Chain A
């Protein structure tokens, strides 16, 4: 086994090991709550991947997760830990609704309205996280804390808008914005309930991977993320890179918000704030900030999220149990990060001592 293989194996085995450990801990939790852990595992599997119908639910959950994961994964290549996905998603959704209502009011064609919603969502989410990047670069404000706090601002802003300026008077129980006309909503893939958001998510993950690995922009970002002093010696514009990559990450989360309003809810309300942001952080960490891996991990986590209802119905566990599971997964993944390079089986083997040669006498 070569060292290269060993290192790729390490990158696969450790996250899987973390998931298995999280499953075991979660089983313990279910047992304490009085449910049969193996029954729960089976239910989760069935609800997530058991049938075409349930798998469609998983896919629907996975698409915003993929997009929002990029909001953490892209800046991570620059060495930034950003967890403002929720805020960028909310701002993106809000801007998409505002844009969509304006354009359809002006009589724009369907495709134009949809494109306008996507651009508005991306711009809003992008600017939201670019603010975090600017604070980081110009004022050395910790990007993790500021992005977290920006989430609260975004959520409060959403509540204000749907309770005030954007409120549809007919939405009584759940204050919401005016709905986007049915005709302008994102459609579903032929023969399924899965909306086009999944396609957008997959394309975004693929593009993000390509951007980071194959373009000069990605090379510069990886350099600055790996060693900012070396990047400065090479004359790379670290500030511009920070702003650009934060904007791109935020734009992806903003697009997730647009997908949620334009394909699922049809209007902006507090349902937007459905933890896809934090789920995205989790996806990015499990995927070790690799955009391609993020698309697969988002499927897995989407499946877990989709199983919330069934746990309540068939095991008498509270609906929030999946949140407990999500939390356990997060903790064990963060812990597993400390294991890279520590487990002896993945350590590069020292070069084998060469067979003694006649000339090798003195050492």
Chain B
């Protein structure tokens, strides 16, 4: 342990971290394609990209969670084999995760000692406290060593996560969206202190982010990923937010033309009035959202994930109580009960269908019957007709081309695309749908499945269904929606007909400008 203490005091310059032509494939899916990146010693480097752009995969390859399919990770210009975070630590690399990894019931000092890779069997607490006090005296943030973690505020917990890495003598910090759980003030404080350490030459930082504000204020260099490929690199001082948004979102082609029928008789179906909802931790997630979705139109909600769109959909789907505000469907107050869903014909395609819309161990047939099991012909006077449930499922499996061994197979055994098709079959098969709420309906699906789902949603719109489409994929929204909103920090901050939407403004609004 002497080495740790001495090393902290001398603070050697951080090593250079370089990634060369790194490729990572999962099966046939290429998550990263020939990506290169260089973190020069003593710089604050941002890694930007949309969801699914490959940012997390890249840092997981660096830290040894994943083994790259090809390519090299260089530390101080030597190719290194990193098979585990422990190996990465050996080379001075440390990662701070998006979520806290401290033990709430233990004190700060206990957590720091616990985090060591070489924790002794027997701990001499007096000596440890002496060393920890010495370490704290030289560290950028101060936290009382004797405070239990449970009493720390979120900002302090995040500081502790960073302190842990400094205590472990990591010289290159990799931060995975470190500010997603912090308030803007806390974020500024943490990043500001880190910035000072970097400026003093004690540290290099590689930070995953999709907040342009933080990138502009604190970082030196930026590398942008898009769909697993290197989309750009540059010095922040030479770049504008527009330029970065452009790199991140790509050359926006004109929205692919899709067959849209103009529905003449437009009347409002879904109406939100000052809807507010809270996150699980009680902080506001949706702040006073108001919008109207009419028959025969798709209203898109764009936004970077974590800005309240999940909670909004959960409230509409009946999974989360609202805080205040009104939801009207066909002009009547709507509480997401089964009776109202049936009367107004409201259907939902939630994100992560296996988690949100299916019972994994129940059969495909039973899952397809989730909307209809209590109505004739599937049920008579409270008794199920297993025969009719099976028949309907066999029909739907055919129509929606669900690939399943049989309708009795548990839906959890199907592939992601087929689970989504199962849900789609259930939610879109009704002939008199009024309102469809869809959230990231194509997330994680391959190209053909995406195309199929898009065509189904469009077909529903053309039949006169009102569609609310919440998505983190801007391309999808530009392609499908008639009007587009941007949600940022729980507020609908922008609204425009999609045809006349300005892509730059959209990007800026999504980034919170």
Which residues of A approach B to under 8 Å, CB–CB? 4, 214-220, 222-223, 226-227, 229-230, 232-237
Contacts and interface: CB of A to CB of B under 8 A. Distances in A.
Contact of A233 (B318, B373, B383): B318
B362 A235 contact: no
Contact of B338 (A215, A219, A227, A237): A237
Interface residues of B, number: 32
A8 B118 CA distance: 48
A216 B350 contact: no
A226 B357 CA distance: 11
B355 A234 contact: no
A215 B357 contact: no
Contacts of B357: 229-230, 233
B319 A216 contact: no
26 contacts: A4-B408, A214-B384, A214-B386, A216-B383, A219-B374, A220-B374, A222-B359, A222-B362, A223-B362, A223-B370, A226-B359, A226-B361, A227-B355, A229-B355, A229-B357, A230-B357, A230-B358, A232-B317, A232-B318, A233-B318, A233-B356, A234-B370, A235-B337, A235-B338, A235-B339, A235-B341
Chain A binding surface, main DSSP class: helix
A230 B371 contact: no
A354 B357 CA distance: 35
Contacts of B371: 234
Nearest to B385: A214
A339 B284 CA distance: 43
B366 interface: yes
Contacts of B383: 214-216
A227 B360 contact: yes
A232 B321 CA distance: 11
Contacts of B84: none
A215 B384 contact: yes
A232 B362 CA distance: 16
Q: Which of A218, A219, A232, A233 has the most chain B CB atoms closer than 10 A to its own CB?
A: A233
Contacts of A222: 359, 362, 366
Interface in B330-354: 336-342, 348, 350
Contacts of B374: 216, 219-220
B57 to A, nearest CB: 25
Nearest to A223: B359
B493 interface: no
B382 A216 contact: yes
Given A216-B379, A220-B374, A235 B360 contact: no
Contacts of B348: 233
Interface in B363-377: 366, 369-371, 373-374
Contacts of B337: 235, 237
Interface in B384-410: 384, 386, 408
Nearest to B335: A235
Contacts of B356: 229-230, 233
A234 B374 CA distance: 11
Given A214-B386, A216-B384, A233-B319, 10 more contacts: A4-B408, A216-B374, A223-B359, A227-B359, A227-B360, A229-B356, A229-B357, A233-B348, A236-B338, A237-B338
Nearest to A238: B318
Nearest to A225: B359
Nearest to A229: B356
A235 B318 contact: yes
A229 B339 CA distance: 17
A318 B373 CA distance: 54
A169 B225 CA distance: 86
Top 10 A-B pairs, shortest CB-CB distance: A235-B338, A226-B359, A216-B374, A235-B341, A232-B319, A227-B359, A234-B370, A232-B318, A216-B379, A233-B317
Nearest to B409: A3
Contacts of B369: 219
Nearest to A224: B359
A146 B7 CA distance: 53
Contacts of B382: 215-217
Contacts of A226: 359-362
Contacts of A220: 373-374
B408 to A, nearest CB: 8
Contacts of B317: 232-233
A215 to B, nearest CB: 5
A229 B317 CA distance: 9
Contacts of A229: 319, 350, 355-357
A94 to B, nearest CB: 33
Nearest to A214: B384
Q: Which of B358, B360, B369 has the most chain A CB atoms closer than 10 A to its own CB?
A: B358
